[in-house]
Amino acid sequence: MKILILNGSPTPNGNTAALAQAFKEGAESKGHEVTLLNVARKKVNGCLGCNYCHGHNSQCVQKDDMQEIYPYLMDTEMIVFASPIYYFTMSAQLQSVIQRFYAINHPPKAKYSALLLSSYSPDVYNGSIAQYKDMIGYMGITDKGIVVADNSTNKTPAKLAEAKTLGASL
């Protein structure tokens, strides 16, 4: 199936990128078509809440880098949210992308999702996991797994294997 990974970390080759890459390798090993988008350095504004999209065939009035991301969202069967923890939640950059889903309401073909989180401290994931579960419930998407890594496990072979195994389990 087509899988879209939205990496919300601005750090090239960082801890979140490592989780995303390991997941991608696992999924590709089973023949899935994986697209990894590093969204954090793109220019994606927050949603204006103007509802232009609802009168204009789901087209967003803001012509920023989100326009590059919408075609992938429209076509994907699985969506993977990958993010560093910033102040107990997913990065602002990824939140902007998520809130710009508003124009299309939700990725129309997406049936499955996963969540990959990296932090410094352990036990800082409650907010992100609650948001993720509420969001996919609203979208009618089924969770396939959550991988979290903190300073004691970031980029360790065992943690990368966990992410890879999740990808390969699909």
Ligand X SMILES: Cc1cc2nc3c(=O)[nH]c(=O)nc-3n(C[C@H](O)[C@H](O)[C@H](O)COP(=O)(O)O)c2cc1C
Q: Residues in the site for ligand X, rule: CB under 6 A?
A: 9, 11, 14-17, 84-88, 118-121, 124, 154
Question: Is the CB of 22 or the CB of 85 nearer to ligand X?
Answer: 85
Nearest approach, Cβ of 25 to ligand X (angstroms)?
Answer: 17
CB nearer ligand X, residue 98 or residue 148: 148
Write down the least CB distance from residue 147 to ligand X, Å: 13
Transcribe 134-146 into DSSP letters.
Answer: HHHHHHT-EEEEE
Q: How far is the CB of 99 from ligand X (least distance, A)?
A: 19
- Parallel, antiparallel or unpaired: strands 78-86 and 89-90: antiparallel
The two three-digit tokens of residue 153, written as one number: 């496990």
How far apart are CB 157 and ligand X at their closest, in Å? 17
Instruction: Give the nearest residue (CB) to ligand X.
Output: 14
**CA angle centred on 54, ends 58 and 65, rounded to 5°:** 45
H-state helical runs in 45-141: 52-55, 66-75, 92-99, 126-139
Element (H, E) at 38: strand 33-38
> Considering beta carbons, is residue 17 or 141 the nearer one to ligand X?
17
* 32 or 155: CB nearest ligand X: 155
Residues comprising the chain, all counted: 170
- Nearest approach, Cβ of residue 23 and ligand X (Å): 14
Are residues 112 and 37 in contact, defined by beta-carbon separation less than 8 angstroms?
A: no
Nearer to ligand X, 16 or 62 (CB): 16
Tokens (6 digits) for 74? 């429209």
